[in-house]
Amino acid sequence: MRFLITGHTGFKGAWLSLMLHDQGHEVSGIALDPESGALFSTAGIADLIQHDVRQDIRDFEALRTAMASIEPDVVIHMAAQPLVRASYAMPRETVETNVVGTMNVMEAVCAVDSVRAQVIVTTDKVYRNVGQSAGYVESDALGGHDPYSASKAAADLIAQSWVTSFDLPPTAIVRAGNVIGGGDVSVDRLLPDLLRSFAVGTPAVIRYPNAVRPWQHVLDCLSGYLEVVDALLAGSGHGEWNFGPGEQGFVSVGEVADLAAADWSELTGRPATWTSGSGDQPYESQILALDAAKAERELGWSNHLPVPEAVEWTVRWHAAVSAGKKSRDATLEQIRDFCAG
């Protein structure tokens, strides 16, 4: 099977590229250059990619030309400006990338006859957050308080409108929670920030320790995406899908930080601490929860790694790499352990 991943140089894209290649698929990608120190670079994933296209998805003509030359069977659209705090600093770029970029991908797919299925990745933050403790379901209203959330909600609506308005290959929209795992180097994400501080022996600063989020390991998230691909290829799977950890995965930021600190200390023998931040911070909701019952019921998907294990796998990956293990080996080892059971 020929897969095309937009955003393959990002955190989830790198994991997915390696996962699909290990399963025997041909993988191509369209994305910007990876961040410094990103998993895509340290794991040498470019060596495994059939077509490694560095292209801004906001450039429609270049995107369409690249996609036509690749002739994929499946398109998984992940490319995005993915950070809430960054969206305050660059709102126009966030909207153009997330909204217009998504429209460009879907329009380019329309022009490529080889595509048999496409998956559009948005986020749990597309939902209009009313502070409810119950998980949001796929039929709940969309919204967005910050530029990032609003842009992803708009992208989700654009995708839904394209499905109903144009002749597309089988298409699904997937929404996942706070995804964690080894090799994430983004700033202003909890686990990368914690692990950077732990590695140099300074207390990590946490902005909202009481905020509750649906935490999920990247492999649980990606396994859901691939379940949707299989369903689309089999003639079902259309529509919107949540992939989250269930109620046991709705855990506060402070609790996740405590788990990570304990795991780091146990695995490395070095102390790890964190403290609450102070000063003005951009708005973030107090609670965000996701209901994945539809995927469990209709796709047979389930979340395998509870939050303590998801955190431990993430910390163990970083501890192993910091001790000299190659990042590709560390990633493949976890992919194979996960897929084995």
Check residue 341 and give its pLDDT: 80
Written as one letter, the residue type at 224 is G
Query: For the residues 258-273, what does the mean pLDDT come to?
Result: 97
pLDDT for position 283: 66
pLDDT tens, residue by residue, 216-259: 999 999 999 999 999 999 999 999 999 999 899 999 999 999 99
For residue 308, give the amino acid letter.
Answer: P
Q: pLDDT value at position 308?
A: 98
DSSP 8-state secondary structure symbol assigned to residue 32 = P
Q: What is the pLDDT of residues 110-138, one digit of tens each?
A: 999 999 999 999 999 999 999 898 999 99
Residue labelled with tokens 């911070």: 281
Condensed to tens digits (0 to 9), the pLDDT of residues 20-35 reads 999 999 999 999 999 9
Mean pLDDT of the chain: 95
Provide the pLDDT for residue 99.
98
Per-residue pLDDT, 281? 64
In the CATH hierarchy, which fold is given to the domain comprising 2-340?
A: Rossmann fold (3.40.50)
47 by Cβ neighbours in 10 Å (0-12 / 13-18 / 19+) ranks as: exposed
How confident is the model at residue 218, as a pLDDT? 98
Q: Mean pLDDT over residues 298-321, rounded?
A: 97
Task: Kindly tell me if the per-residue pLDDT of 340 is higher than 90.
Answer: yes
Q: Which residues contact 278 (CB under 8 A, 6 or more apart)?
A: none
| DSSP assigned state of 98 | I
What's the whole-number mean pLDDT along residues 49-65? Answer: 98
Alpha-carbon span 287 to 279, nearest angstrom: 21
Q: Which two tokens stand for residue 212?
A: 């509750």
Residue in the block written with tokens 């919204």: 143
- The span from the first CA to the last CA of the chain, in angstroms, equals 23
Spatial CA neighbour of 331 closest among 8, 11, 30, 2: 11
Tens digit of each residue's pLDDT (9 = 90 or more) over 131-184: 898 999 999 999 999 999 999 999 999 999 999 999 999 999 999 989 999 999
Q: Are 254 and 183 in contact (CB under 8 A)?
A: no
Do residues 208 and 331 lie in contact, with contact meaning Cβ atoms separated by under 8 Å? no
- What gap in Å lies between CA 191 and CA 260, rounded to an integer? 8
pLDDT at 285 over 90: no
Helix locations, 36-166, DSSP H? 39-42, 60-70, 84-89, 91-95, 101-110, 147-165
Question: With contact defined as beta carbons under 8 Å apart, do 150 and 6 qualify?
Answer: no
pTM confidence score: 0.96
Nearest 5°: the CA angle 317, 319, 325 is: 75
**Closest by CA position to 134, among listed 247, 243, 210:** 247
